[in-house]
Amino acid sequence: MKTQLIDNFNRKITSLRISVTDRCNFRCFYCMSEGEVEYYDRLEILTFEEIKKLSEIFVGLGVDKIRLTGGEPLIRRDIPRLIRQLAHLFIPRGDLKDLSLTTNGFMLKDLAEELYSAGLKRINVSLDSLNPDKFARLTRRDALHRVLEGLDVAEKCGFSPIKINVVAIRGFTEDEILDFARMARTKPFVVRFIEFMPLDMDNRWGEIKFIPGEEIIDKIDAVYPLEPLDTSQNFYAAKRYRFKDDSGEIGIVSSVSEPFCGSCNRIRLTADGKLRTCLFSLNETDLKSPMRNGVSDEELKRIIIKAVNNKEAGHKIHTTGFVKPKRSMSMIGG
């Protein structure tokens, strides 16, 4: 029987997000600075073999969902090889319920077929605007056409579901909420609106730009009536809704206005091998150094169990005790 990762608040940890790189070919203003970005030295980044080893240990401790993130994971050289290693290792044995990847979509056009063949069946694509000018201002790249072409290729390859992650920002993309709702109604995509969180490098986050999830739902429901889906049997970060005419699904990740910390089942592994038990953690646990120093798997398990046991109660946004992490989103992993 597997050891279960359970924290001090009796939350069972089953989901692991692994950042495979801190590099990205976009410069989204809520994630990275516009200027020069100081990346980790490549020797500091976990190798595929190290990611595979740690994944085996985490799965042995009860993790059954792994998502690969970045930076932008598709710019990591030979990323299909890592997909193949993880998929062939875990999926035939039934160890993983879900192996997925979050991407900005720029390289999907070129890599979707190879990723699918390697064993990846589910992707999340970050897409915050359908307007070419706004997209370019937000990402600082003129690349919307490439992302949309990549989505078409991924759809044809058979990825399902394809989730579209939309960060809603007041005064910038709020007028596109209904456009994304129509996308969810006309394409086989699950559109998920994500509240803008205080993890941006340029410190643009603030109440004036924040749109609560409830407001987004109300705006869509007024035009395209919605009904909630029952998610009581499983943990979902997103509140899920279907259109009443059965023409698609949307979700809301209300991490700020309605935090789900009390049932959070996630932990994160950064590209440089640090275990973070909360997106907003102020402390990290180094797994890379002891692994490279040759400690046993049992010792790594002990380190992981101790770190998870001390997982934070919650992120403390909107409280006087909130302290913004030093790392930005691109350094933590989405």
| pLDDT, tens digit (0-9, with 9 covering 90-100), for 321-332 | 667 667 766 677
pLDDT, tens only, 86-138: 998 888 888 899 999 999 999 999 999 999 999 999 999 999 999 999 999 99
Please state the φ and ψ torsions of residue 65, each to the nearest 5 degrees. -135, 125
Residue 189 to residue 163: CA distance in whole angstroms: 6
Q: What is the pLDDT of residues 162-220, one digit of tens each?
A: 999 999 888 888 999 999 999 999 999 999 999 887 655 555 545 557 899 999 999 99
- At the fourth CATH level, the homologous superfamily of domain 15-332 is Aldolase class I (3.20.20.70)
Taking alpha carbons only, the member of 101, 10, 66, 99 closest to residue 308 is 10
What per-residue confidence (pLDDT) applies to 30? 77
Q: How far is CA 182 from CA 51, 153, 223, 249, 296, in A?
A: 38, 20, 10, 10, 52
Structure tokens belonging to residue 92: 């035939």
Give 124's DSSP letter. Answer: E
Chain center to CA of 111:
19
Helix (H, G, I), strand (E, B) or coil at 327: coil
Can you tell me the mean pLDDT for 47-53? 98
The Cα–Cα gap between 7 and 265 comes to: 10
pLDDT value of residue 315: 77
The DSSP 8-state label assigned to residue 242 in this structure reads E
The residues spanned by each domain of the chain are 15-332
Write the pLDDT tens digit of every residue in 58-85: 999 999 999 999 999 999 999 999 999 9
Q: Is 189 helix (H, G, I), strand (E, B) or coil?
A: strand
In the beta sheet, which residues pair with residue 124?
A: 102, 163
* Residue predicted with more confidence, 1 or 144: 144
Distance of CA 123 to the CA centre of its chain: 10
**DSSP state letters, 93-105:** TT--SEEEEEE-S
For 240-278, what is each residue's pLDDT tens digit? 999 999 899 999 998 888 878 888 999 999 999 999 998
Is residue 179 within 8 Å of 162, Cβ to Cβ?
Answer: no
Mean pLDDT, rounded, of the chain? 90
Contact 238, 192 (CB under 8 A): yes
pLDDT of amino acid 328:
65
Contact assessment for residue 232 and residue 263, using Cβ atoms and an 8 Å cutoff:
no
